Structure 1
Amino acid sequence: MKSKHPHAFIKPVIEIIEHELPEMVSKLDRIRESRKGAHGHGFYMETFRDGYKEEMYCDYALNPIYKLDGTVWGIILIMTDSTQNVLNKRRLKTLNKLSYQTADAESLESACQIIMKALQNNQDIPYALIYLIENNKDPKTGFNSQVARLIATTFDEVCKEEFIHEKLKRNIPDYFPETYEMIDLTKISEKDFDTYIDVKYATSTHSFLRCDCWPINLVMKEEISIQVLLKDNSQAILLPIKLKFCNERNLSAVLICGINPLRKLDDKYMEFYKSVLNYVNRILIRGMSIEEEKRRAKILTDLNHQKDLFFQSISHELKTPLTLIFSPLDELINICSQDTQMKSHLQIIQRNTCRLLKLINTLLQFSSIESGQLEPRLYETDIVKLTREFAMNFENITRKLGLEYIIDVPNSNEFN
């Protein structure tokens, strides 16, 4: 009974529960009339046990106490508080839902949207928002600036069809502090966050910040969670996330979660928030890593494209002079047809010029090969003749070196 003890002791149960548990009163009436007991699991009730209206779950057994004549004299109620078991199962379901969504993140922004979608319609987190904070350094002035950008909320799904100036319209509740799409944290004074209000319960007291806008810069500076009291006296908590995996961009995040109005922010509730934060961090890391892979892949694609352009440019420059060599070379071969040695040298030049031209054409086709657009063309070739032509290119060099150069293709007729 918590705060109702001891004044509720030995008092009629109707006096204690008739306003809070009308359903239980009706059950007592039915048992008195039917003279049959009843039991149940996870019975939901809202009660003021700790000085505030809280949700409670219990397992119960109701059994009639009979008089000698068989009529019901009273009812004995055995009740076990199962609230924590129900909360544990409910919160574990939330964590599992976040865990299942991790693999779906394909970018940092999509990761934020996935997190918000997983937290929709959640009793322990009535609503959620996520801000990404990026530290930028102005190259001209050298000053650092912190810009917080609202990426996603649990309200986005409701109004996904409504767009204003190509931006998603969000139905932010009126009782929220000012919720800006983008905040320059360097322009916000800490004096705006100095009003704290104590919320007292029967067994504990909690301190909440009352403010006109979300204290994101305070969370980033202190690197601790901060509880906020909203305009309608409901509560929210801001949780910092340090994204250590992306030091190049120097990113951080702040997850804003609503607090269940029927639950007190006790140690177990805070442990649940920390677990949620761990899963959120994993999803963000996954989204950032995929985004980074795509960025690097794009850089490599651009580099390959530049490389192809370079090869094509150089190849065209080489192809022009080689093409111009062919015509005078053919004329020289015809003129020197009687001089066998000179003709042989010129034919070597001609073959190697052709080979160079083929290599250059291959370079020109390089981009087509990489993109898979070039199809192979297969045709029959006299392998013996091709081998002899390649080998003859080295005949002149071996002769100068005084080496005996023999080209021997055994059983050459079998290749034709």
Structure 2
Amino acid sequence: MENKPSYNELKTRCDDFQAQIIRFLKVEQDLIVTRSKLDRDLSRFISMQKYFQNGIQAKSPEEFADITIESVIETFEIECSAFYIYDRTENVMKVKAFYGTDYVPEGEWQLDGDWISSKEFLKTGNIFTEQIEPDSEPFGILGLASVIISAFYDEDGNLHGMLLGGISSDKKDYYDEIDEEIKASFMVFTQQMSSMLRNFEAKMYLDIRVQERTAEVIKQKQEIENKNVQIMEMDRMRTRFFTNISHEFRTPLTLILSPLEDMLTKKELTEKNRITMERMHRSASRMLALTNQLLDLSKIDSGGMKLELIESDLYRFLMIIFNTFTPLAERNNIRFKFRIPGDEFRTYYDQDKMEKIVYNLLSNAFKFTPVGGIIDSSIKIYQDRHPNVIEISVKDSGPGIPLELTEKIFDRFYQLEGSVRMD
């Protein structure tokens, strides 16, 4: 027969088994506590991630403060929250957003310099919890029973503001106490929030500067457009004026030229009268030419100038113009050369405008070329380009134009200071 265990042996075994069960239950309880802590940490982490995503999208400081206090209540499962910014000028904490005690006026949330100094916020960072006596200042009169407060600072270490979480006296039995575990997480939350707030304020500053600069650019653009409108109107008025004046001049000039031309054809004129009338005819013709130039300028400004194209021998046409300057070259002892690369070149061109262009080029060359100087004119045809390019070149031995003033070539009536005309 087997030996049965004694009472003492059975008691020892029961005690050992009971101890194992107690250890198991303790381990299980520790696991439950750890799992609960991990769940809370995970929930806070998710809430903080959500806060960071929402905070970045804030459109104003007020919206940023509202998002922050909502996240504090959700993340730490507390009833009340307030977001403060420190006003250095007035040495007060001004509330920017609060939640949980809506029946308290906003002004009563403000914290004065004495309270700030008592917490040593201006000296060093601090986070603390506090049980509040009923009706005490500053939080008892707000109806709070306990609070957790964490200050935050700018990049230079200066006090920037503080974040508050709290539980009201009316509902303190429904919330867990604010313990050391919450303090650690609350401080991390505040630090992350502070970093995000600095970035947000920097972005807001840049946005404001961009808006201001954009407004300045729009204003400047509007001013330029208004000035352009004024300038265009002045140009139209000037064009109308020149057009009217030119037409007024042409009629009497035509009436003067026609009788003069008739009288110059008469053979009985004395030599003295003929010379006088020829001078009168040249002067009137010159005035008419100038008047026609004014009309041309008016047409160009108004967009009414059109090309009158005809097909003709360009070389022959230019040769006629060049030959009209030969007597002037001989009188001033100027070596006047013009080179044409062939006998004939038929193309379409506006004879009137071509004559004016070439005449002006040669006239300027003769005006500023000294006696005994050289004027060299040439024509080149580039038929390898499409369309064909015709280059008319006039070179002279006059004083020339300084390189820095070449941009003035097409400015109307511009003339170099000290330039001498060689008429």
Instruction: Report the TM-score range of the alignment, normalised by the length of the smaller protein.
Output: 0.3 to 0.5
Which structure shows the higher strand fraction? 1
TM-score (norm 2): 0.47
Which structure shows the higher helix fraction? 2
| Higher relative contact order structure (alpha carbons within 8 Å, sequence separation ≥ 6) | 1
